Amino acid sequence: MQQNNGLDKNQLISFALFSMILIGAMFYFQNKQAKDQQLKDAQNKTAVTQKAPVNNAKPAIVTNLNDSVKTASIQQIELKNKELTLAISTLGGQISTVQLNEYKAYNKKTDVNDKPLLIFDKNNSSYGFQFKDKSGKFFNTKDLVFSPVQNGNSVTMQTTVNGATIQFIYTLLDKYIVDFNVKTQGLSQLVSDQKADFIWNYNVRGMEKGRSQEQTHTEFNYTFNDYKSFDYDGRTTMEEPKENLNWLAVKQQFFSAVIEPQKGFKNSKGSQEMIEEGEFLKKFNFNGQVDLANNELNEDFKWYFMPLDLPMLKSYDKNFDELLPLGWSFIGTLNRWFFIPMYNLITSWGLAAGWVIFLMTIIVKIILSPVMFKQHKLSAMMKVIRPEIDAVNEKNKGADAMKKQQETMAVYRKAGVNQMAGCLPGLIQVPIFYALFRFFPNMIDLRGKSFWFAKDLTAYDDVIKLPFHIPFLQDHLSIFAIACTVVILIYTIMTAGNMQQPTQEGMPNMKVLMYIFPVTFLFFLNTSASGLSWYYFVSNAINILIILVIKYWILDEKKIHAQIQQNKTKGPKPEGKFQKRMREMMEKAQEQQKVQNTGKKK
């Protein structure tokens, strides 16, 4: 399996190159101690440490890359506000540490979220601008050493390369924003291209309990067409050679790092690679081009290191709310305008998150109750006419399947039973299920919220730990998932009794398939959000109660039988469009079969 020690290949090369330059610098300065001491004195006056007071002195300007390396030691400059704590390294002039102060990361040892939540740290991120000089060689700012000047929550990083000055100006703002302004002077004398490549290598650190679930939600996200269009890629590569990207994000389950260039990234491409184990989930590489104006790079960028909180994302007005994967089209609309507002409303009552989900389930069931009643009434009607269906099957035992099906449909039609009406509740449940499948693992308000034995409703509960690993189930059993599977199985047993058995050889027994389904559902729920399992446990438990209430207090099978007999005296109801089309298709298929049989006899 692939190991990860927090350093990628490019960083190792950079480290080796930097070490070689330092060794060369030591020999170079052996005979120039006086000048060396002079330079050190100047540096001591201008160098700023993390706890140093504001220093308004101008940074020392060096004449080439070697001088830059020799005259500056690697420092970490701290910027901090209520939301973020940043460390900016003089090596590469890049953000080396990003901590979200108001959130915590999952700690496997304690099984709760109590670790500092670090998006960048331990060299897991490296970025810089790559230029091509007039000799055809490339150099990258991430390999240069910068001199810092700090002023409150702003720091200016400056270096020189063969007479060209490069400045990175970072300013920490509110709302998880970091202004990143890039300025160059004299670069036009050094480079030949009208473009620079922004290269970002990033190993994403795991923040949550469910590794596989978090990996699934970790991907490239980006927008283009003046922030109007959005796309994502969670597989291997992303390529946008024609679009101008307004921003590029590496999104995780609940947090995201976003880089926004003022003029956009062109000819963008990226790759991602899954990391099987360790503290990192995926390895990302991105390359996007930025244009130079008169061979100089003077452009404003912004970094965003933010939680995926829907109201906050919408407040930026930059299409950031698309980072929250609530589902496409109707699914996303259902989450945005129904489930999230309902959750927020019930939460405002001061209830625990688990009971909020409980009430959400009841509200959904009340809304769907008319449809559920029709479904169970249809089920009762089919149970009453079962003897007549069995008689038709026995009568046509030797006949072809098409004829048997036609006569069966005639019985249903005569009794006033519309089989297709039973499909409606199932079809309605599909978008609701998928919407909740997106809702529970991505709702940051549920993150870290415990309920009974589940310590986090956005992750699985693993009270039952296994001493071995089972494919798909992993090394635990979720109590919520088991409970949900049991009630689904009970519900299936209660509803499968009215299902018609196959009347033709080779046809699958749907009862057996329905009994297998709840068991396979366990494999899905065992590693999913426990909030989802809790919702479906409550939902199916309510379904069971509804069946019992309808069966013993609402529907009377004798009355239903009398109604069916009355329907028969009135004659069959007019066919609906779908029923008519089905009958015509079956009749046409039967005629074609007769023609084929006649041809075979000849």
Residue that is written with structure tokens 């202004």 in the block: 179
- Residue 565: the pLDDT is 61
Q: Are residues 313 and 297 in the same domain?
A: yes
Q: Are residues 510 and 524 in the same domain?
A: yes
- Residue 475: the pLDDT is 81
Segment 245-292, tens digit of pLDDT: 999 999 999 999 999 999 999 999 999 999 988 899 999 999 999 999
Q: Are residues 306 and 368 in the same domain?
A: no
Task: Give the residue among 207, 272, 266, 189 at the shortest CA–CA distance from 236.
Answer: 272
Last residue of a domain, one of 273, 301, 324: 324
Segment 482-513, tens digit of pLDDT: 898 889 888 888 776 555 554 444 444 556 66
Q: Are residues 452 and 530 in the same domain?
A: yes
Whether 414 has a pLDDT exceeding 60, the answer reads: yes
Taking a C-beta distance cutoff of 8 angstroms, is the pair 481, 454 a contact?
no
- What distance lies between CA 448 and its chain's CA centroid? 17
Q: Are residues 183 and 287 in the same domain?
A: yes
Question: Which range has the worst mean pLDDT, 50-59, 340-349, 559-568?
Answer: 50-59
597 occurs within a structural domain: no
438 occurs within a structural domain: yes
- Residue 122: the pLDDT is 87
Report, as an integer, the average pLDDT of 477-481.
88
Whether 73 has a pLDDT exceeding 90, the answer reads: no
- Write the CATH number for 103: 2.70.98.90
Instruction: Please give the Cα distance from 236 to 95 (Å, whole number).
Output: 26
Last residue of a domain, one of 324, 351, 369: 324
What total number of domains does the chain contain? Answer: 2
Instruction: Please give the Cα distance from 517 to 496 (Å, whole number).
Output: 12
pLDDT classification of 28: cutoffs 50, 70, 90: very low
Last residue of a domain, one of 277, 300, 324: 324
DSSP structure class, residue 52:
P
Task: Give the residue among 59, 303, 299 at the shortest CA–CA distance from 182.
Answer: 299
Report, as an integer, the average pLDDT of 382-388.
69
The mean pLDDT of the chain is: 78
Task: Give the residue among 182, 202, 180, 299 at the shortest CA–CA distance from 255.
Answer: 202
Q: Are residues 316 and 334 in the same domain?
A: no
Taking a C-beta distance cutoff of 8 angstroms, is the pair 97, 120 a contact?
yes
Token output for 382? 């089919």
What's the pTM? 0.74
- Residue 218: the pLDDT is 93
Segment 165-218, tens digit of pLDDT: 999 999 999 999 999 999 999 998 888 888 999 999 999 999 999 888 899 899
- Residue 53: the pLDDT is 34
Task: Give the residue among 390, 422, 420 at the shortest CA–CA distance from 407.
Answer: 390
Q: Are residues 50 and 104 in the same domain?
A: yes
Higher pLDDT, 128 or 29: 128
Range of the domain at 454: 330-571
Report, as an integer, the average pLDDT of 559-568.
61
Q: Are residues 364 and 303 in the same domain?
A: no
596 occurs within a structural domain: no
Cα angle 293, 298, 299 (rounded to 5 degrees) comes to 110
576 occurs within a structural domain: no
Instruction: Please give the Cα distance from 248 to 243 (Å, whole number).
Output: 12
- What distance lies between CA 377 and its chain's CA centroid? 40
- Residue 571: the pLDDT is 56
> Of the segments 49-53, 279-283, 404-408, which one has the largest average pLDDT value?
279-283
Taking a C-beta distance cutoff of 8 angstroms, is the pair 185, 172 a contact?
no
Q: Are residues 435 and 533 in the same domain?
A: yes
Question: Which range has the worst mean pLDDT, 104-118, 419-433, 536-550?
Answer: 419-433
DSSP structure class, residue 253:
S
32 occurs within a structural domain: yes
> Of the segments 32-36, 195-199, 407-411, 540-544, which one has the largest average pLDDT value?
195-199
Instruction: Please give the Cα distance from 18 to 597 (Å, whole number).
Output: 84
Q: Are residues 94 and 233 in the same domain?
A: yes
Instruction: Please give the Cα distance from 86 to 304 (Å, whole number).
Output: 12
Q: Are residues 504 and 392 in the same domain?
A: yes
- Residue 416: the pLDDT is 61
Whether 528 has a pLDDT exceeding 70, the answer reads: yes
- Residue 74: the pLDDT is 87
602 occurs within a structural domain: no
Q: Are residues 39 and 98 in the same domain?
A: yes
- Residue 181: the pLDDT is 96
Q: Which segments within 17-109 are labelled E, that is strand?
A: 76-80, 84-89, 95-107
3-class secondary-structure state, position 221: strand
**Burial class for 480, CB neighbours closer than 10 Å (0-12, 13-18, 19+):** buried
The pairing of beta strand 255-261 with beta strand 266-274 = unpaired
Report, as an integer, the average pLDDT of 431-438.
86
Contacts of 33 (CB under 8 A, 6+ apart): none
Token output for 215? 């990996």
Higher pLDDT, 33 or 333: 333
Q: What percent of the chain has pLDDT over 90?
A: 37
Report, as an integer, the average pLDDT of 239-243.
90
- Residue 552: the pLDDT is 73
